[in-house]
Amino acid sequence: MTQGHTITVEQSDDHVRVVHGGQVLAESEHPLVLRETGCPPRYYLPPADVRLGLLTPSETHTHCPFKGDASYWSLPDAADLAWAYPEPKPDVAPIKDHLCFYDVEVL
């Protein structure tokens, strides 16, 4: 990590639901929460808790110097609304293959 930049990943007890257009895309009672300097907390959901059949892999890929290379998924009316790190950097290894969404409900 660079000086002043920290990332933590912890198991969360929060119940997280992802809804888009009235359709539940994901619901988890076992999310990981990633806290990163300068960013809002992000919930990473296990793939078993995500309705992957509703999502289409996107051509979008981004690089984070702290987390690694991310792959994205879309819906027909919502491009790149979820992402995951298939090969995350060692400091954030627990998020491997977990999906993160921009908009989540914490119940």
User: What six digits make up the tokens of 61?
Assistant: 């890929």
Secondary-structure percent of the chain, ordered helix, strand, coil, rounded to 5: 10, 55, 35
CATH architecture for residues 7-106? Beta Complex (2.170)
Measuring CA to CA, which residue among 45, 55, 47 is closest to residue 23? 55
| Domain layout of the chain by residue ranges | 7-106
Q: Using an 8 Å Cβ cutoff, are 99 and 34 in contact?
A: no
Give the Cα separation of 54 and 99 in Å (integer): 13
Provide the whole-model pTM: 0.93
pLDDT for res 107? 80
Residue 3 has pLDDT above 90, yes or no: no
pLDDT digits (tens, 9 = 90+) for 29-84: 999 999 999 999 999 999 999 999 999 999 999 999 999 999 999 999 999 999 99
Q: Using an 8 Å Cβ cutoff, are 52 and 62 in contact?
A: no
Residue 49 DSSP one-character state: G
